Amino acid sequence: MSEEQEDNLVKAISTLMSVLKPLDQDARIHVLEFIIKRLGIALGATFTNKPDAPSLKPTSPNPAVQAATAGDVDIRSFAAEKAPHTLSEKLAVVGFYLAHLAPVSERRDHITSEDIRPFFIQAGFELPTSSANTALINAKNAGYLSALDRGKYKLTAVGHNLVAHKLPTREARQTKRKTAKRSAAHRKKKNDRTS
């Protein structure tokens, strides 16, 4: 499956999930059966018209698909979870967020220089000291973004894999664990003093 097909799959699933989510199960089944009939899709006999039909939730191991269908994710939480260190990694996180996790009405497959300031502020990232265009070009040179049109950059497979599978880095996970251990030790020490 090509990267474009994968992106379209994620968009289709997230759109369907957002439309079907407020409906009850019978309405969801009715809508899906209508779409399947209308598009002439032939499903195996094991799926259709069975009361114990499998869940309509995606079973893909792809975190992007799972997160996109689980409901809207705010960029600050996502950025904290991924803990990017470099400016290029932060841009990849914003690009991934825009492509897969932003509210459906705001999703798009590209990032521009105008996105950096508002999304970096929302994510809690330090603003870049270089120009926004320079930051995007550097992320492109790192392999995380590719140029679409003038000023528009799309997340590459390398950038997608970085965000979906490699962040947080080992160092970031170790730092989080150390901070959690220190906090727990500090609370224990404080509780011991008050007892």
| CATH code given to domain 72-174 | 1.10.10.10
pLDDT at 58: 43
Mean of pLDDT values over 5-16: 79
Model confidence at 61: pLDDT above 80: no
More confident residue, 99 or 48: 99
Token pair in block for residue 48: 């259709």
For the chain, domain boundaries: 3-64, 72-174
Predicted local distance difference test score (pLDDT) of residue 39:
79
Q: What are the two backbone dihedrals, phi and then psi, of residue 155, each rounded to the nearest 5 degrees?
A: -65, 130
* Rounded (10°) CA dihedral 170, 175, 176, 178: 120
Q: Write out the E strands in the chain.
A: 145-147, 153-155
pLDDT tens for residues 142-183? 999 999 988 999 999 999 999 999 998 777 667 767 777 888
Is a pLDDT exceeding 50 seen at residue 195? Answer: yes
**Residue type present at position 16:** L
Instruction: State the pTM of this model.
Output: 0.57
What one-character DSSP code corresponds to residue 6?
Answer: H
